[in-house]
Amino acid sequence: MIKGRKRHKHSPETKDPQRQDLKEQLSQALELNQKLQKQIERLEQMVQQQQEEIEYLKRIGKRQAAPFARRHWVEKPKRPGRKAGKGKFAHRELPRVVKRLETKEAKLHGCPECGGHLHTIHRHEQFVTDIPVVEVKTTQFVTYSGYCSACHKRVRSQHPEQTSQATGAAGVMVGPRAKALAADLKHRLGVSYGKVSEVLNDAFGLSVSRSGWCQADQKLARTAQPVYEDLLEAIRQCSVVNADETGWRIGTLSAWLWVFAHHDLTVYTIRANRSSDVVLDILGTHFSGILTSDGLLSYDDRRLSDWLKQKCLSHLLKDLKEMNETKTGRALHFARQATALLQEALALKRQKPTLLPRTFSQQARDLEERLDTLIAVSRRFSDADNARFAKRLRKHRPHLLRFLYVDDLEPTNNLAERMLRPAVITRKTNGCNRTKDGAAAHSILSSVLVTCHQQAIPVLDYLVQLQQFGSTPPSLVER
């Protein structure tokens, strides 16, 4: 039998160095694990921040309240009010009292605290202008009818202040001023029919249901249809028209509310599409003015290729601002150069009245040449976003700086966007329109009401005259 070899146990001298090495390796591994864990946590925070940025950009793309929000907190915002050099600064003058109906005096015969005698008494005046308690006034119109023996017709008299000849159960109706106020609240100020009913009931004791006001608006829209057609014809003759659109609904179907605005008149229309057909239908195929708009493809249709246009610089500067915030290195140079050039163009427009014609022409020519060089086809861009934006500027190149040469032409589409804000309020509070007739009524009445407001024409008086038989309201269109 062969005996096995005798195994020798490791001596403590050989065992301790190996154990010590293992401990060092373990401690190093633990330390490395902690560093990697911290890096993972930092990367997860960065990913979370990027996801929040993406969600934010998605939200602001929906054109709700988010476009007006700031992405970063401003520690020292600009002070409100007029800036230095903008207008005259003075203390507010005391308001004038046009008509004083009554005077109420509070006597002071002695000290109200102890009843002591008073001396050095001063007189103080205060004027309070308030709304009186309004009572609903009901007017009875008595008319007569008879049979003509000559022409064999039944004829009937009518009072000039009447708005209808209905009698019987239909002869009890709401007056023209109440209808005008309800229409203004609904279609210009964006108040729902339910709240219109509450306001007029609480303020004047006029109890009318929501459906009653809706039917009154339908009739008022039919009466105002000729005025709306005159506005359509007038907007086609304007030298400059600002156009914009926003999402809308008719019942459960998607639609678009369009606005075409000039400085003294505005036309609204609600359509089921967002195509260039709407532009041609409203402005006509032979529109000879300048159309200011954003970069929507509908305004660049081939049928509009011969039109004079001005693209909104605010939209371009907004996109450039985002590029300035996200780009780094050499990719940032193009965004900075384009931003500076457009801002110089805006400044030149403001300075134009104070510059000599020759000086202005030279500066405008320099801007044109710099813009051509900046977006030249031969220029190579390493950044894809810069290349796309340069291509976009080349596409709209004839319509970027036209505002420099036309005094009445603004570089932005701000007018149309301001005219859309009441519609946005109506969309958020009232849920748009339920029927096509309601959409047509909203288009007509909002156009008439906003145009009256632009021309400083009293809205209620105008609509009252529009409804009465014997009255002719002033024309909203300059003949």
pLDDT, tens digit, for every residue of 369-408?
A: 999 999 999 999 889 999 999 999 999 999 999 999 999 9
More confident residue, 101 or 402: 402
- 69 pLDDT exceeds 50? yes
Asked which of 59-73, 252-266, 441-455 is least confident by mean pLDDT, the reply is 59-73
The dihedrals phi and psi of 383, each to the nearest 5 degrees, come to -100, 130
- 347 pLDDT exceeds 90? yes
Pairing state of beta strands 290-293 and 266-271? unpaired
Asked which of 5-9, 107-111, 169-173, 359-363 is least confident by mean pLDDT, the reply is 5-9
Let me know if domain 220-308+413-467 sits in CATH 3.30.420: yes
More confident residue, 441 or 171: 441
Q: What is the pTM of this model?
A: 0.76
pLDDT, tens digit, for every residue of 283-298?
A: 999 999 999 999 899 9
Mean pLDDT of 332-342: 94
Cα torsion through 97, 98, 104, 108, rounded to 10: 30
The answer to whether residues 227 and 448 touch, using CB atoms and an 8 Å cutoff, is: yes
Mean pLDDT of 86-114: 79
| Assigned token pair, 319 | 């996109």
Mean pLDDT of 411-415: 94
Give first-to-last CA distance, the chain, whole Å.
133
Which amino acid, one-letter code, is at 172? V
- 312 pLDDT exceeds 90? yes
Pairing state of beta strands 253-261 and 266-271? antiparallel
Question: Under 8 Å CB-to-CB from 240, ≥6 apart: which residues?
Answer: 262, 289, 290, 292, 406, 408, 409, 410
235 vs 454: CA distance, rounded Å? 14
Band (6; pLDDT cuts 50, 70, 90): low
Band (95; pLDDT cuts 50, 70, 90): confident
User: Exposed (0-12), middle (13-18) or buried (19+): which is 338, by Cβ within 10 Å?
Assistant: buried
- 465 pLDDT exceeds 60? yes
Distance of CA 160 to the CA centre of its chain: 40
Pairing state of beta strands 240-250 and 253-261? antiparallel
Percent of the chain with pLDDT over 70: 92
Rounded to 5°, angle at Cα 350 from 349 and 352: 65
Which amino acid, one-letter code, is at 24? E
Asked which of 37-46, 140-149, 318-327, 466-475 is least confident by mean pLDDT, the reply is 466-475
The answer to whether residues 432 and 249 touch, using CB atoms and an 8 Å cutoff, is: yes
In this prediction, residue 475 carries a pLDDT of: 85
The answer to whether residues 212 and 173 touch, using CB atoms and an 8 Å cutoff, is: no
Residue 356, SS3? Answer: coil
Question: What does the mean pLDDT of the chain come to?
Answer: 87
Distance of CA 320 to the CA centre of its chain: 21
In this prediction, residue 66 carries a pLDDT of: 47
In this prediction, residue 218 carries a pLDDT of: 94
pLDDT, tens digit, for every residue of 314-331?
A: 999 999 999 998 888 888
In this prediction, residue 127 carries a pLDDT of: 84
pLDDT, tens digit, for every residue of 134-175?
A: 888 888 889 999 999 888 899 999 888 888 888 887 777 888
The dihedrals phi and psi of 56, each to the nearest 5 degrees, come to -65, -45
Cα torsion through 392, 274, 223, 286, rounded to 10: 50
For the chain, the structural domain boundaries read 220-308+413-467, 313-404
| 86: DSSP letter | S
Packing angle of the helix pair 331-351, 384-395 (nearest 10 deg): 30
| Among candidate residues 265, 243, 183, 242, the one with its CA nearest the CA of residue 454 | 265
CA atoms within 13 A on the CB side of 409: 22
The answer to whether residues 400 and 162 touch, using CB atoms and an 8 Å cutoff, is: no
In this prediction, residue 128 carries a pLDDT of: 84
Question: Under 8 Å CB-to-CB from 202, ≥6 apart: which residues?
Answer: none
More confident residue, 181 or 132: 181
Pairing state of beta strands 154-156 and 145-147? antiparallel
Strand ranges (DSSP E) for 180-297?
240-250, 253-261, 266-271, 290-293
Band (453; pLDDT cuts 50, 70, 90): very high
In this prediction, residue 14 carries a pLDDT of: 53
Mean pLDDT of 249-265: 93
